[in-house]
């Protein structure tokens, strides 16, 4: 199950992503945690110290390796240079599974031990000043999009992505890659305005979107969120002393998390799990082709000097039952 946490800056995306990852790990579920946000804090929220977090390999620095692995023997993708972030898999492509070893995880994922289990953490890499506004900016989150487009995940295994709600993910199609998107919103006008924008984009693509109210302090906060987002409000999280303690560098054991917050995390899991039956791999594949053609036309063809529409394998449908190429 692919799950994204989005929302306005500072709303609590990283905090809730990390708590959700811990919650899943504590149940023994296999989890890949992905930090796809501009502000890279997920490692720290999962308990890594500064040195450990700084040593995490950036996916953006392994783009060629990722592309070469994923394109495999796909004859439609002749080189890593010709592969852009939206290039869809086809016959001969290699797919990623949550529970396996592969060169992409070897280069880009690191194990993080949590109470109850170990998860894999992948990070896009911090954005340097010179990246902003240029191609590299896109290629860094592009690495995540590429992996999601080649991922065949099953029930009871999870990929949790901490990301921004920015326009970058709308242009690329990244926002359509998830079984469930949790929009983290504080009970403020700004918080819900990000929700409205996201909802608008999501509507046309059948994106499952639920609001998680955060830092909700009382009946007035709750009433405000209910009035603004209606039935899309899934659950709310209040101030957490557990989170505060962790921020001080003194993480209590995860089983010490407040009962109400644990119940909220379980609601998130139930809502995400419920999307399994609604999966439609054909539509999922069609959407990646749609965004690929759009990106090809707007910049990809010019950049690569080829017609990237030829990369689309018309007979290919991504599916968790697809087996490895011979």
Q: Which is nearer to Mg ion, 214 or 311 (CB)?
A: 214
Cβ at position 248, least distance to ligand ATP in Å: 10
Q: Which is nearer to ligand ATP, 89 or 251 (CB)?
A: 251
Residues 239-298 that bind ligand ATP (CB under 6 A): 239-240, 243-244, 247
Q: Which does 187 bind (CB under 5 to 8 A by kind): ligand ATP, Mg ion, none?
A: none
Give the torsion through C-alpha atoms of 234, 240, 242, 243, to 10 deg: 80
Give CA separation, 224 vs 147, 198, 300, in Å.
Answer: 38, 19, 43
**Taking the chain, what is the end-to-end CA distance rounded to the nearest angstrom?**
26
CB-based burial of residue 301 (10 Å sphere; 0-12 exposed, 13-18 middle, 19+ buried)? middle
Phi, psi (5° rounding) for residue 291? -70, -30
What the block records as the tokens of 284 is: 């999922």
Cβ at position 178, least distance to ligand ATP in Å: 17
Residues 32-61 that bind ligand ATP (CB under 6 A): 37, 39, 41
Q: Look at the alpha carbons of 47, 51, 53, 57 in this order and tell me if their dihedral is positive or negative.
A: negative
Taking the CA atoms of the chain, what radius of gyration do you get in angstroms? Answer: 19
Q: Which is nearer to ligand ATP, 153 or 162 (CB)?
A: 162
Q: Which is nearer to ligand ATP, 100 or 241 (CB)?
A: 241
Task: Confirm if 94 and 72 have CB atoms less than 8 A apart.
Answer: yes
Task: Confirm if 315 and 91 have CB atoms less than 8 A apart.
Answer: yes
- The correct pick among 2, 5, 11, 14 for binding Mg ion (CB under 5 A) is 14
Cβ at position 4, least distance to Mg ion in Å: 13
Total residues interacting with Mg ion, rule: CB under 5 A? 4
Q: Which does 11 bind (CB under 5 to 8 A by kind): ligand ATP, Mg ion, none?
A: ligand ATP
Residue matched to tokens 């639920």: 210
What the block records as the tokens of 82 is: 């010709």
Q: Which does 247 bind (CB under 5 to 8 A by kind): ligand ATP, Mg ion, none?
A: ligand ATP
- Distance (Å, rounded) from C-alpha 22 to C-alpha 47? 10
Cβ at position 48, least distance to ligand ATP in Å: 15
- The correct pick among 3, 15, 33, 114 for binding ligand ATP (CB under 6 A) is 15
Task: Confirm if 187 and 224 have CB atoms less than 8 A apart.
Answer: yes
**By the rule CB under 5 A, 41 interacts with Mg ion:** yes
Cβ at position 162, least distance to Mg ion in Å: 6
Cβ at position 37, least distance to ligand ATP in Å: 5
Residue matched to tokens 């039952």: 321
Compose the 232-251 pattern: x for residues touching Mg ion by CB under 5 A, - for all others.
--------------------
Residues 199-228 that bind ligand ATP (CB under 6 A): 214-215
Task: Confirm if 194 and 13 have CB atoms less than 8 A apart.
Answer: no
Task: Confirm if 166 and 13 have CB atoms less than 8 A apart.
Answer: no
Select the span of 12-20, 132-140, 141-149, 310-318 touching Mg ion (CB under 5 A): 12-20
Residues lying near ligand ATP in the complex (CB under 6 A) are found at 7, 9-15, 37, 39, 41, 214-215, 237, 239-240, 243-244, 247
User: Which parts of this chain interact with Mg ion (CB under 5 A)?
Assistant: 13-14, 37, 41
């Amino acid at each position: 199950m692919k799950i994204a946490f989005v929302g306005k800056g500072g709303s609590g995306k990283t905090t809730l992503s990390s708590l959700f990852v811990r919650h899943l790990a504590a149940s023994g579920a296999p989890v890949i945690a992905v930090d796809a946000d501009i502000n890279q804090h997920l490692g720290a929220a999962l308990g890594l110290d500064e040195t450990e977090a700084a040593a995490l390999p950036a996916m953006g620095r392994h783009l060629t390796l990722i592309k070469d692995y994923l394109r495999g023997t796909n004859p439609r993708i002749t080189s890593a240079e010709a592969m852009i972030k939206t290039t869809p898999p086809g016959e001969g492509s290699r797919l990623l599974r949550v529970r396996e070893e592969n060169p992409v995880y070897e280069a880009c994922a690191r194990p993080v031990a949590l109470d109850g289990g170990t998860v894999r953490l992948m990070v896009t890499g911090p954005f340097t000043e010179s990246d902003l506004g240029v191609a590299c900016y896109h290629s860094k989150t592009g690495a995540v999009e590429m992996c999601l487009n080649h991922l065949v995940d099953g029930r009871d295994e999870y990929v949790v992505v901490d990301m921004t709600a920015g326009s970058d993910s709308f242009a690329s199609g990244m926002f359509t890659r998830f079984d469930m998107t949790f929009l983290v919103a504080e009970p403020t006008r700004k918080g819900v305005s990000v929700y409205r924008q996201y909802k608008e984009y999501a509507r046309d693509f059948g994106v499952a979107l639920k609001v998680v109210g955060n830092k909700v302090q009382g009946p007035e906060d709750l009433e405000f969120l209910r009035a603004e987002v209606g039935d899309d409000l899934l659950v709310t999280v209040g101030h957490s002393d557990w989170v505060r303690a962790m921020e001080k560098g003194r993480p209590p054991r995860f089983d010490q998390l407040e009962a109400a917050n644990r119940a909220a995390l379980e609601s998130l899991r139930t809502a995400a799990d419920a999307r399994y039956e609604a999966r439609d791999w054909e539509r999922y594949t069609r959407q990646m082709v749609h965004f690929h053609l759009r990106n090809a036309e707007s910049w990809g063809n010019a950049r690569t000097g080829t017609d990237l529409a030829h990369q689309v394998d018309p007979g290919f449908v991504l599916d968790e039952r697809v087996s490895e190429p011979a």
